[in-house]
Amino acid sequence: MILLLFSITLVYVGLVMIHAKGVASKIELDTYQGVLRAEEISQKLGKKKGNLDAQKENLQAEALEIFMLYEITKEITKSFNESEAFEIFKRKLHEHVEFKECCFLGSLSREVKDLRKKEGYFVFTLQSKRKKIGYLAIEGVSEKDKEKVMILGHQFALALRRVHLYEEIEQIAITDSLTEVHTRRHVTERFQEELKRSKARNIRMSFLMIDVDFFKKFNDQYGHLTGDQILRETGALIKENIREIDIAGRYGGEEFCVILPDTGYQGAQYAAERIRKAVEDAVIKAYDASVKITVSIGTSTFPDDSKKMDELIDKADWALYRAKKKGRNKVCSFGI
């Protein structure tokens, strides 16, 4: 009986041990699977964190790029001059990109083809809508920095468009729309500047007042369109026969004027005679008509005739009146 009970107990203990071993194996398996799941979750979290870090770095890079673009745009837009804008651009580019030399070439530059072939040079085309406005030629820029150069180059192109637009607007504001010489207001401003400079340097300057002879007769005979063409051609002839430093303008109606810096009486006489002869020799074609015209010119000189702008203008006008009285197509100087 005792033996039987012992045997039953052994069997029971064995069964319990087998069951316990199974339970332990299941717990171990579950634990292992839990560990695997935890590792998988950890890897996913790590990957997600890596993605988030990468996104953060990208956002930081984009923010830096936007800030960089903002800074360069802000700096360049302070200038309304092409060369100044380029110097600002080059300085800002140096802050973000390593290179040896950077130069700005015009849209018609012949150097571009050679530089494109030259080793170590990166040439970037500056575009204004569909029009080329120039090139950036950069020596010694690395491949990784070329994208930055292109981004900044686009910003420089936008700045150039703004500079050119400002220059066009400024030119329109100071240019007479019909004759394409300067407006009376601009000539007056320049006259004051040149007079101030002449006084400071103790040098002479002269002023010409020019009038188209018998303009009313041409206007009445041929019509206003022909009259406009006469004024247009006269303005062009005056511009063609003066120096680069001289300032030609339309004073009003058929009257023109020219400021002659660093010019005394003899020089004024020479300049006026050159204009008079060029107009006299020209044949003006206006629609169906071909006409020949003449001009009368009066001159005055600082400081010989006056030290004040208004008086110099009045005295040149008086000399012009005298030239007309003498038969027109003449040059007369004040006081002579």
Q: Give the tens place of pLDDT for each residue, 236-271.
A: 999 999 999 999 999 999 999 999 999 999 999 999
Render the burial of 213-235: b for 16+ CB within 10 Å, e for the rest.
bebeebbeebeeebbebbbbbbb
Task: Give the model confidence (pLDDT) of 51-98 as tens digits.
Answer: 666 666 666 665 556 556 656 666 666 666 788 888 888 888 888 888
Could you confirm whether 254 is annotated as catalytic? yes
Percent of all residues in the chain with a pLDDT value above 70, rounded to a whole number: 77
Token output for 318: 């008086």
CATH 3.30.70.270 residue ranges of the chain are 184-333
3-state helix, strand, coil in the chain (%, to 5): 60, 20, 20
Question: Which of residues 92 and 318 earns the better pLDDT score?
Answer: 318
In this structure, the strands spanning 331-333 and 131-139 are unpaired
Indicate which residue of 254, 255, 280, 311 is catalytic: 254
* Span 120-147, average pLDDT: 86
| The CATH homologous superfamily of the domain defined by 184-333 | Reverse transcriptase/Diguanylate cyclase domain (3.30.70.270)
